[in-house]
Amino acid sequence: MLKQTKIVATISDKRCEVDFLSDLFEAGMNVIRMNSAHLNKEGFDKIIKNTRAVSNRIGILMDTKGPEIRTTVTDKDEPISFKTGDKVWLKGDIKNNTSADCIYVNYIDFANEIKLGSMILMDDGELELKVIEKHPDSLLLEALNDAVLGSRKSVNVPGVRITLPSLTEKDRANILYAIENQIDFIAHSFVRSKQDVLDIQQILNERHSPIKIIAKIENQEGIDNIDDILEVAYGIMVARGDLGIEVPQEKIPGLQRTLIRKCIAAKKPVIVATQMLHTMIDNPRPTRAEVTDVANAIYYRTDAIMLSGETAYGKFPVESVRTMASIAREAELTKLQENDIRVPIPDDDMDVTSFLAKQAVKTSSRLQVKAIVTDCYYGRTARYLAAFRGKAPVFAICYREQTTRELALSYGIWAEYQEKKEDPKKYLLIALNKLIERQIINRNDMIAYLSGSFGADGGTSFLEINNTGKILDGGKNFHTPYFKD
């Protein structure tokens, strides 16, 4: 276990060989991300097949496009240069190509929803335009800076809610593909409310799919509704790229910290994404500012950090993962305990799992427990342990392979799949031997064991704290509660 913070790496079908993915995995990657905006079925197939050939512990995450507005293809697919003061029309029509005279976007009612004087940002804010005339089906815009606009670039209108449907037809097709191929996570773009998440959950429920939904928070509306969104999402991604366009960029650090804190309180995983080691796309070393950015996300207590272009098409993909893992490991060693985020358990909360998880984590500092072992079917106990952000690593014995991959997003969890055994004691013994083999613990160390008296899917009901060597040497004198078949 190189570090406790998890790493998500974006992968392209142009570079997804088994040896390459294996190198990324050995360097510290835990989850691969597939960006549906740049992949077709053949690309998905290739990435999934090769990822699963490397390890059953690597989670697979697919992005949806969500309610996103983009420009159409430019004439001859060549970039268009705009100068400050240039005038250009904008219309909603996906069938026409964008030119220097008229920019077309993929939402037909766009002009109706934009007010006179609004600012429109294109290509992640590279081109800024102002609405100087408004007509029923078109807008006249004035360029406020010099910029070049290419094909299919993003369109953002800060502070304006666009009433696009949550899911495009392409999104629906990709979700059905994800279900068929047992992908682990769907990261839904531009989530504005809990209904956006429920729209996907309905599709999953109708097909009895266990896929988990990660809500990408990329606009002010998503921030305003974050508490409701967290009620229905498995976790969130702080997608700082579009978020930094939709809201003033100086607010991003504070919003990032707030979103992480809310996820921890809700005991749900959180990913921090966008340009974390951006200069490593072309350079073998990151800037000091980037190193600090990654470290601060960990000091803020994120579960996972994400690489995008660095691993998708950058020149130094393995070095990027290795660098991120190295920064994470050092940040985990140097983070201050007094800055830990308190996860309260209300007096009227009768959740036994939450209470026992908190006590198990407390033992890592009070009783010098070196590792926590738990067995899980759906991973709830392990996720709760992750939320309390203890110093001791958590070894999760999983009875479903999918749970193993789902926990690849949760802080401090080393999850492995184990086939069912008649003697429940064997699960713990296997875990302890693997922890010793990995030199995470030794025979003299204390460990905590969280499990249930009614089997793997019967809920957590007890916490045991014991000496590793004593357990391993105990033989028939060491007893665990009986697991029902």
| Catalytic site positions | 33, 70, 216, 274
Question: In 3-state terms, what secondary structure has residue 16?
Answer: coil
Q: Which of 388, 408, 387 is nearest to 396 (CA)?
A: 408
Tell me the C-alpha to C-alpha distance, in Å, between residue 1 and each of 33, 264, 438. 21, 22, 8
Asked if 276 and 293 touch (Cβ cutoff 8 Å), the reply is: yes
Positions of E strands within 36-137: 59-63, 80-82, 87-92, 102-105, 119-122, 127-135
Measured over all CA atoms, what is the biggest interatomic distance in the chain, rounded to whole angstroms?
Answer: 84
Residue 361's Cβ-side half-sphere holds a number of Cα atoms within 13 Å equal to 23
Would you give the DSSP letter of residue 227? H
Helices then strands (H, E): number in the chain?
A: 17, 21
- Under DSSP, is residue 20 helix (H, G, I), strand (E, B) or coil? helix
Q: Where are the alpha helices (DSSP H) in 9-146?
A: 18-27, 41-54, 110-113
How many residues are recorded in the chain? Answer: 485
Q: Tell me the three state secondary structure of residue 262.
A: helix
Tokens of 387: 């939320």
CA distance 61 to 38: 14
Question: How far apart are alpha carbons 466 and 369 in whole angstroms?
Answer: 9
Distance CA 106, CA 73 (A): 10
